[in-house]
Amino acid sequence: MTRDVDAAVAVLRAGGLVGLPTETVYGLAAHARNPKAVRRVFTVKGRPPTHPLIVHLPDVSHVARWAATVPDTLGPLAAALWPGPLTVVVRAGPDVMAEITGGRDTVALRVPAHPLALEVLGRLDDGVAAPSANRFGGVSPTTAAHVVADLGDDVDLVLDGGPCAVGVESTIVDLGGARPEVLRTGAVSASQLSSLLGAEVVTWSGDGDARAPGMLASHYAPHAAVLVIDEIGAAGVVTRRIPEVGAVAVLASTTGQLDAVRAALAGFDDRLVDLEPVGDADGFAHELYDRLRQVDRLGCAAVIVVAPPPEGIGVAVRDRLTRAAAGE
Ligand code: TXA
Ligand code: MG
């Protein structure tokens, strides 16, 4: 782990892989014009080659180097939200490698809001392809230590930019079709996009894998079983899904919720492990992946999660929890 931006740029230029901090999660970065380096990203992650990568850019002026045409909808979104947790899918230009697009005719682009990432990208003056820096299907990393724990020597350098400010992956909006469509929820909401564009932006509700390959039903999953409940009154309904042996962690926004879960699961009291409450939806997003990792470090058989309300970034937190729970 280092804070040495020069060293990170040198590794990328030489075709190596860098653990790159962004405001959402840490990325496993490769120079986006180097096919060998990009192929190594897939090997290290254990990711199927058909799952496309996001190209990270130093600023909006770089979009024209990657897109076949720059859609009119990009202007207002980039002006308001870049650098920031928004990824746009646009028609790919002829030079974009198939390794990045997974053979599709579109490419995903974003300008991340992290000072170290922007410094690296600015010095490189080019794009960096980066999926989340975890093994395929696992929990995304939100600290440099998470990246080291997941990837060890498979990553050449990890740039330590501190804990990620947002904590869940970027919102992905497809601007390549007849009307903009959200393919993955994140800190930027569909209604925010709608008001910036002055037109309704819908959220793709069908098979995520068809539109954004890699958005599998089972994803972001710790080893422990994830049992999601919406309201405390429902805590009792998970009792039959609690494994017969082992500790059961409880993740919630407030200590009041933790107490209520304990009351609803009286028979399991001696097996419950309270995790530090995460606070509001922003806190939930910020702490989620670290808490899920903690559950595995503690060797818990399961974690019961009281989901935040589906408002703001709470929508994205609930999406990730659903996918983590599908990993059972
Ligand atoms: O916040 C983020 O987006 C983080 C940080 C590192 O920037 N990156 C990230 O990458 O979450 P990854 O690879 O874990 O997820 C990328 C998602 C996948 O679901 C992929 O299918 C989608 O982006 N994607 C990439 N290119 C696409 C394309 N051309 N069309 C549709 N979806 C695409
Ligand atoms: Mg990922």
3-state secondary structure of 238: helix
The percentage of residues in the chain with a pLDDT greater than 90, rounded to a whole number, is: 86
Q: Quick one: pLDDT at residue 72?
A: 96
Residue 300 Cα to ligand 1 midpoint, Å, equals 30
Average pLDDT over residues 91-110: 96
> Do the beta carbons of residue 239 and residue 227 sit within 8 Å?
no
| 219 phi-psi bin (left φ>0, alpha ψ -120 to 50, beta other) | beta
Q: Quick one: pLDDT at residue 87?
A: 98
Q: What's the rounded Cα separation, in Å, for the pair 163 and 139?
A: 15
Residues 6+ apart with CB under 8 A from 319: 184, 185
Ligand 1 in reach of 24 Cβ (< 6 A)? yes
Q: Quick one: pLDDT at residue 237?
A: 74
Write the burial class of residue 15 (CB in 10 Å: 0-12 exposed, 13-18 middle, 19+ buried): middle
Domain end, chosen from 137, 170, 203, is at 203
Domain holding 292, by residue range, is 225-326
pTM of the full structure: 0.96
Which stretch of DSSP H or E encloses residue 107? Answer: strand 106-110
Q: Quick one: pLDDT at residue 230?
A: 85
Residue 155 Cα to ligand 1 midpoint, Å, equals 19
> Do the beta carbons of residue 217 and residue 323 sit within 8 Å?
yes
Residue 110 Cα to ligand 1 midpoint, Å, equals 10
Residue 53 Cα to ligand 1 midpoint, Å, equals 5
Q: Quick one: pLDDT at residue 261?
A: 92
Ligand 1 in reach of 54 Cβ (< 6 A)? yes
**Strand partners for 87:** 172
For all residues of the chain together, what is the average pLDDT?
94
Q: Quick one: pLDDT at residue 327?
A: 62
Ligand 1 in reach of 104 Cβ (< 6 A)? yes
Q: Residue 22's pLDDT band (boundaries 50, 70, 90)?
A: very high
What tokens appear for 207 in the block? 């098979």
233-267: pLDDT as tens digits: 667 778 888 999 999 999 999 999 999 999 989 88
Q: Which amino acid is at 123?
A: R
Q: Are residues 94 and 51 in the same domain?
A: yes
Q: Are residues 154 and 286 in the same domain?
A: no
Q: Are residues 198 and 61 in the same domain?
A: yes
Residue 134 has pLDDT above 60, yes or no: yes
Asked if residue 217 belongs to a domain, the reply is: no
Asked if residue 219 belongs to a domain, the reply is: no
Count of domains observed in the chain: 2
Q: Are residues 199 and 247 in the same domain?
A: no
> Do the beta carbons of residue 116 and residue 6 sit within 8 Å?
no
Q: Quick one: pLDDT at residue 207?
A: 59
Q: Are residues 197 and 229 in the same domain?
A: no
Average pLDDT over residues 88-108: 97
Name the least confident of 34-38, 211-215, 285-289: 211-215
| Highest-pLDDT range among 202-206, 234-238, 305-309, 321-325 | 305-309
Q: Residue 206's pLDDT band (boundaries 50, 70, 90)?
A: low
What tokens appear for 232 in the block? 């405390």
3-state secondary structure of 155: coil
- Measured from the Cβ of residue 49, the count of other Cβ atoms closer than 10 Å reads 12
Domain of 262: which CATH number?
3.40.50.11030
Write the burial class of residue 123 (CB in 10 Å: 0-12 exposed, 13-18 middle, 19+ buried): middle
